[in-house]
Amino acid sequence: MPDPYRVWLSEVMLQQTGVTTVKPYFEEFTRRWPTVNALAAAPREDVLKAWAGLGYYARARNLKACAQVVAREHGGVFPDTVEGLRALPGVGDYTAAAVAAIAFDVPAGVVDANIERVLARVFAIRTPLPAAKTEVRARQAELTPAKRAGDYAQAMMDLGAAICTPKRPACALCPIADVCAARAEGRQEDYPVRAEKAERPTRYGHAYVAVRADGAVLLRTRPDAGLLGGMSEPPGSEWTATPPAMAPPFAAAWREAGTVVHVFTHFRLELTVWRADVARIDTPAAGWWSAPTALPGEALPSVMKKAIEAAIPGATKRTRRAA
């Protein structure tokens, strides 16, 4: 059977992130931390740094917390039931079902975005998402076989990823085309039906990139609670519905370096970036100076890399440090 640790790690990374993006991260994680016990013992800061750029950063914090629980409370062995897996930090219904089915051959109904699309088309489910998720899960539970449930789940995932694609599905190659109600209607691309999305609001803020004479950049850690929790950033303002007043962390000759835009799931963010070149200042509380060679390896989310790049082009794109 597949290694539960590797199945769990891949499923967490693949949540809302494509395979091409995930692959190098998965390879780095499994090289540095080949077992769940190794990941549990790793400093959290190292885990967050290795995750930087993969997005949805609560996953990284939950990944570390889950590994610690498995190591401490389960002797480094993942539970082999959906219920046991679901009780772990950061493990939701999908991940629990996927790990149970793929790693332990439990007949759990696995539903990811690809399977959701396949079943919405096969059964021509007219209820818009997300309300249709209940019906999709029920259909998947009916179809999941008692044996080789993991093979079935992965086959359905691959079917959605390679053949039953969102646009121009390759119905001529589909092994279940004859039973697809959407194909019979000639409306494959109309499924799954989606509710109209609300317009994303825009929030505004400031990012202050202080550069020391030796090229080091001032960073701090965001609070664990909230968006991008535990990740690194240059000092900045709150993100508000209207542009906030400028309030840099210390007095200096701040000059505007540009504006960066980043789109999160629920809002669009516009950050005005300011740069100050400083010879010597006291390090603000809870902050540190990151040397030019260290900066590319810091736990910087994409939006903060954009902000630093606006002030110091190329600063975060150097070759990542060797582990």
Q: H/E/C letters for each residue in the chain?
A: CCCHHHHHHHHHHCCCCCHHHHHHHHHHHHHHCCCHHHHHHCCHHHHHHHHCCCCCCHHHHHHHHHHHHHHHHCCCCCCCCHHHHHCCCCCCHHHHHHHHHHHHCCCCCCCCHHHHHHHHHHCCCCCCECCCHHHHHHHHHHHCCCCCHHHHHHHHHHHHHHCCCCCCCCHHHCCCHHHCHHHHHCCHHHCCCECCCCCCCEEEEEEEEEEECCCCEEEEECCCCCCCCCCEECCECCCECCCCCCCCCCCCCCEEEEEEEEECCCCEEEEEEEEEEECCCCCCCCEEEECCCCHHHCCCCHHHHHHHHHHCCCCCCCCCCCC
Cβ atoms of 181 and 123 within 8 Å: the answer is yes
pLDDT of amino acid 323: 33
Tokens 């190329």 belong to which residue?
A: 314
pLDDT of amino acid 322: 35
Domain 4-104 has CATH 1.10.340.30: yes
Phi-psi domain of 215 (left: phi exceeds 0; alpha: psi -120 through 50; beta: other) = left
pLDDT of amino acid 289: 93
- Cβ count within 10 A of residue 113: 17
pLDDT of amino acid 320: 40
Report the catalytic residues: 11
CATH number of 113-190: 1.10.1670.10
Cα–Cα distance for residue pair 301/207, rounded to 1 Å: 13
pLDDT of amino acid 196: 84
pLDDT of amino acid 318: 60
What pLDDT tens digit does each residue of the chain (323 aa) get?
Answer: 799 999 999 999 998 888 899 999 999 999 999 999 999 999 999 999 999 888 888 899 999 999 999 999 999 999 999 999 999 999 999 999 999 999 999 999 999 999 999 999 999 999 999 999 999 999 999 999 999 999 999 999 999 999 999 999 999 999 999 999 999 999 999 999 998 888 899 999 999 999 999 999 999 999 888 889 889 999 999 999 999 999 998 889 999 999 999 999 899 999 999 999 998 777 777 789 999 999 998 999 999 999 999 999 999 986 443 33
Cα–Cα distance for residue pair 180/6, rounded to 1 Å: 33
Domain ranges of the chain: 4-104, 113-190, 202-311
Query: From the CA atom positions of the chain, what is the Rg in Å?
Result: 23
CATH of 202-311, one of 3.10.310.50, 3.90.79.10, 3.40.50.300, 3.20.20.70: 3.90.79.10
Q: Is the dihedral of CA 211, 216, 217, 218 positive or negative?
A: negative
CA dihedral 47, 52, 55, 60 (to 10 degrees): 10
